[in-house]
Every structure is written in C-alpha cells, then in structure tokens.
Structure 1
Amino acid sequence: MTASSRSSHVALVTGANQGLGRALVEGLAARMSPDDLVLLTGRNPQRVAEAAREVGALPGTRARVEGRVLDVTDTGAIARLAEELQDRCGGVDVVISNAVARVLPEESQAERADEYIDVSNVATHAVLRSFGPLLRPGGRLLVVASSLGTLGRLPARLHHLFDGASLEQVEQAVESWRSAIHDKTAQEAGWPLWLNVPSKVAQVAAVRAVAAERRERDLATGTLIAAVCPGMIDTATSRPWFSDYSQAQSPARAAQAVLDLVFAEGVDPALYGELVRFGQVLPWHGGTPPVEQDRLLTP
C-alpha cells in the first residue's frame, strides 16, 4: 500500500472472524496509522462484534477497527457496502477477499457445492466488480486462493474455459460446473471431484481477467491486483484434511507474506495479476491434476 496525500486509508477483509482473516486484520491494524480504518467483516453479528472488539484492544493495534456484518453470498450486500465506502471514505486502499465455506471430509462434496461456490466464487466475482473501481492509486486488491488455483490442476479439456477468459466467461464456466454437479455429469465432463480445485482455478482466473483490463494504469499508479497462496495453515477449516501438520503455519505467520504484499513500496510487475506464494509467482499453466483418491490435498 503506497503512502498517499490522503489523511487516512481504508482496508477491508472478508471472512475475518477467525483464522487467516482475523490475523490479516490484526496485521493491518498494527501496521496502519491511527487515522486509518480496518473493517473486519463476517456474517455472524456476535462473532464480528467480539472479534472487532478483541482486535481493537490488542496492545499492538494502531488503526481503528470496525466490525461489519457482511454475508458474502449476498452480492447485493457487497455492492451496498462498496457504495457506502465510496460515499463515506471516497474509496478503499486495501481489500482482501478471504471468505471460504468450510467442508469436512465426511461431507458430500456435491451437496455442499452451492454454498462453496457462492462463498468462494460468486462472492469473489462480486468483490472484484464492486471494489475494483473503488481502489485508490497505490491500493491492493488480493484474493486468497491456494496452489490448487493453477490451470494445470484441471484436465486439459477444461483449460479453454479459463485460459484468457474474461470475468463474464469465468462466471459462465463456474455456473456450467455448478450445473454439471447438479445434473450428475460433472465427472463425465472432466470436473475434479473436490470442490476446491475448480473453485481455486476459477478464483485465480477471475483475478487474471480483471487484472488484464487494468494492468497498464494500475502499474502506473503502483496498484496491485493479485491472487495469493498463503500455504498450509493450522485452522479449523483445513485441519480435518491433513494427517501431518508439522509444517503448518499459524494464521499470524501465514498472514505475514500477504501483508508484505500489502505494504510493499511499489509493485513488482511480475506479480501483477498472478497467483503469488511467499513473494513468488506460481505459473498459471503449472501444476497437475491431484489424485482424487487421496483426500489429503496439498495447500
């Protein structure tokens, strides 16, 4: 986030009640200024209020922390919050789209598909559409994805749906995938069983689509749009999927690499519009489809 002549900056994190989202809010609030505002958002009013109060009371907190109820599956609510911040603050400086739906190994992937897609993909599209135009020069718009978000994680016959796609085409591909799940034709069409593989690829494709349209002017103003892979994190969402957590990071540790992108001076053009893990680009065409018989997926 590049310093500006404005007296204050505004940051927003979705899915911020706990885990990585909360750690990102804590890091932002510690590194921003007293006049700055960090919005901690989630859909449960009590948890949002408690988390905002607790973060605001931490010894290292400098910026103002405000809890806001936001159900990211309500795209209208995302648009209304963006309009409010435009009217109230004149724009935003940092937006981190972090919300994810929790799915347990014993649950049916198909039965959880709608919620998972709505939280991870439809909401991502809405955040990009609503907050992208509000991003001030020098700002950051980051979507938390994973290393499963590279195109090579999908079978080659599905690559054309996402490679070089516009945001509208990514949305169409996601809805085609959703319909295939409901029609029980997804496996025949080549879609991986595990929801997080197509979902993460679609998230990164959406970021790439928006970034492609803005690249020249954003780089001229030191503005960054990117997807980020925080690596393996010890959270309630991910723990059930792994047998070995010896290499897992705490949420606070995982947040550091993301925060480094937020507060970097200037923007490395090589990172713009890409999937970034620990400051390095994960090649879009890299990766191989995971072995689906093994439920222990790599983050």
Structure 2
Amino acid sequence: MNTSRIALVTGANQGLGRALVEGLAARMHPDDLVLLTGRDDRRVTDAAHEVNRLPGTRARVEGRVLDVTDTEAIARLADELGTRYGGADIVISNAVTRMLPEDSQAERADEFIDVSNTATHAVLRRFGPVLRPGGRLLVVASGLGTLGHLDPRLHKLFDGASLDQVEYAVESWRSAIHNNTSAEAGWPRWLNVPSKVAQVAAVRAVAAARRERDLATGTLIASVCPGMVDTATSRPWFSDFSQAQSPADAARAVLDVVFAENVDPVLYGELIRFGKALDWRDGTPPVEQDRMLKP
C-alpha cells in the first residue's frame, strides 16, 4: 500500500481553500500529494500550477475538477482514492457559494444548500470510510454554526441528530423556503445560519458514531471556524475589515489542527476555533442580518 500521504481540499481555486492547499503543500513531504479541487477546469489547472511553483511548496499538487453539487462525482473520487492510494489522510471540505447582500436568499437557496450542505453530507459519507487511521476530516464552517443561533423551536432537529436526521432537517428547511413557510416555522431568512448549524450537526453526527475507534487511532473528524477572513466571498457582508485575517493567516490556524501530533478528545467532533472547541449550544439568533436581506 502507498505510504505517502494524500490530502484533498474542496473549493480550492482561491481564498481560504487556495491558502489551505498552499499551507498543506508547504508542510507535507515531497512524496505526498495534495489535490486542489474546484469546478472550473482552467482555474483548477492554473491554480495547481501556481502553487507548484511557489518557493515554499514541497509536496506535489495536482488539480482535479470536482463539482461538489455532483454527489456521484464525490463518490467516484473517494472510491478512486481508496482503490489507488488506500485512502486519504487529510480531507478539508471548504466549498461555498458566493452571495451578495442584495441577492434574494430564497432564489439562491437551492444552490447555497447544495454546495454547503448536500455536498458536506456527501463528503462525510464518502470520505469518512476511506479516511486512513490517523487522518483528518475537517469541514470549514463558522462561529454561526452553534445551535443557539437558531430559533429554539428548531433545536430538536439538530441536537443529537443522526446524519440521516440532519439531511431530513435540511430538506425540510429547503421545502419550507419554497413553500413560503420558513419564517413561521422559525427559520431565519439569512441562509448562512441554518446552513452552518446543519454542517456542524452533520459533523457531530458522524463523529459520534466513530468516536471510540477514531480516538484509538489518532483520527480526527471535526468542523472548524477560521474566523473572519478577508476574501471576495466575505467582503461584501462586512463594513469593517480591520480585524479580518488574510486567507494565509486563517489557513494557518486550521492547518495547526491538521498537523497536531495528537488528537485532543475535547476537540473531537466539535466546532474548533483557534484551537478551542466552541460550545454547541451557544449563540443568539442574528436578527439584524435578517432585516438587511431581501426575501
């Protein structure tokens, strides 16, 4: 079996994803492989070529076209890594849909949910089984992913839920948006909140089922909050970026989790920000953002 390490990052053409690939390629070894994935063939090829030419790059970087909304494509890639390399060592699910404040949240809901949630579920289902012992499977979420950011009526859908139940909750949310019943059910207008809570809940569900085995082998499954990052995706949403990190700085904290020598049981399955687990039940519903958005 191939003993070199295999890493994969989704949504890696630019921003945080690109910085994560650059950091992985700098910290891994020449025999290791980092797969930089994205939807557009030209952008993926160009980005991989550019990272390979950086002076700090040590590992090989290859571009792979992967549309995360194509769950069968995710399954094929996971199967390929399992068959060809004996699995993957580092998988970082990072893809996100870029939206503007003036966009209609309802009109963009399907695209947003498919990229942020349906894809996350597929990555967890498909890459979890091919994650090598001692591996890392991380989902990039945000501090909005704690349960308290949702209306209390919705907590039961995600608290202690299985992955199947999280998927059902997400599809119920999607249906409520289409049926114009989401507000009366307690769903916020801002898609980012339920989406992030569902991402974290999905990670918690998968981790709960594997916890004992993973901790015994030094394997980590978790969600990560990189903090505020100055990227093209986030910039339209904030007026003050004085405290924002560069993508490289934000990636560094995430990669410190990846390359930690030992897995802290306190962090396993949790939402990690700057090396610490956030309280799953913390947070308050962000009412102000809802007032700013179009339906």
Q: Distance in 2 between matches of 1:291 and 1:253?
A: 30
* TM-superposed deviation, 1:295: 6.8
Which of 146, 171, 190 is the equivalent residue of 1:150?
146
* TM-superposed deviation, 1:266: 1.1
CA RMSD of aligned residues (A): 1.3
TM value normalised by structure 2: 0.98
- Quick one: which amino acid aligns to residue 192 of structure 1? P
Which of 258, 266, 279 is the equivalent residue of 1:283?
279
Task: Report SS of the residue matched to 1:292.
Answer: helix
Q: Distance in 1 between matches of 2:237 and 2:28?
A: 35
Question: Is 1:232 matched with 2:251?
Answer: no
- Quick one: which amino acid aligns to residue 31 of structure 2? D
Q: Where do residues 239-278 of structure 1 align in structure 2 (5 Å cutoff)? A: 239-278=235-274
What's 1:107 paired with? 103
| 5+ residue gaps, structure 1 | none
Which of 145, 167, 172 is the equivalent residue of 1:171?
167
Contact 2:190–2:290 at 8 Å: present in 1 too? no
- Quick one: which amino acid aligns to residue 185 of structure 2? A
What's 1:210 paired with? 206
Task: Report SS of the residue matched to 1:169.
Answer: helix
Contact 1:140–1:223 at 8 Å: present in 2 too? yes
Q: Distance in 1 between matches of 2:2 and 2:70?
A: 31
Task: Report SS of the residue matched to 1:248.
Answer: coil
Q: Distance in 2 between matches of 1:123 and 1:287?
A: 25
Task: Report SS of the residue matched to 1:46.
Answer: helix
Task: Report SS of the residue matched to 1:93.
Answer: strand
What's 2:19 paired with? 23
Task: Report SS of the residue matched to 1:252.
Answer: helix
Deviations 1:209-235 (Å, cap 9, x if unpaired)?
000000000000000000000000000
Question: Is 1:117 matched with 2:108?
Answer: no
Q: Distance in 2 between matches of 1:215 and 1:167?
A: 15
Task: Report SS of the residue matched to 2:287.
Answer: coil
Provide the aligned length of Structure 1 versus Structure 2.
293
What's 2:44 paired with? 48
Q: Structure 1 86/192 Cα, relative in aligned 2: closer, same or farther at 3 Å?
A: same
Which of 132, 136, 145 is the equivalent residue of 1:136?
132
Contact 2:188–2:290 at 8 Å: present in 1 too? no
Q: Give identity over the alignment, percent.
A: 81
